[in-house]
Amino acid sequence: MQFTKALFAAVTLVSSTLAQDWHDGDGNGKIQWAMDCDFNGGDYAHYNIPGEQCGRKCLESNQCTYFTWNNGVCWLKDGRHWGITPWGAKGAVCGYKRQRNDGDECGDYFDCYSSICAYWGATGHKACCRNKPDGQAGVSGYAGYDYCKLVPDGVSCWADDHCASRHCRGNLGGLKRGTCKA
- 29-64 confidence digits (pLDDT tens): 778 899 999 988 889 999 999 999 999 999 898 788
DSSP annotation of 151 reads B
Whole-angstrom distance, CA of residue 126 vs CA of residue 103: 9
Q: How does pLDDT run across 110-149, given as a tens digit for each residue?
A: 677 667 888 988 888 888 887 665 556 678 888 888 888 8
Higher pLDDT, 154 or 80: 154
Supply the pTM of this predicted model: 0.53
Please report which residue ranges of the chain form alpha helices under DSSP H.
Answer: 2-18, 54-60
Residue-wise pLDDT for 160-176, tens only, equals: 988 888 899 999 888 89
pLDDT at residue 28 is higher than 80: no
In the chain, what are the helix, strand and coil shares in percent, each to the nearest 5? 20, 35, 45
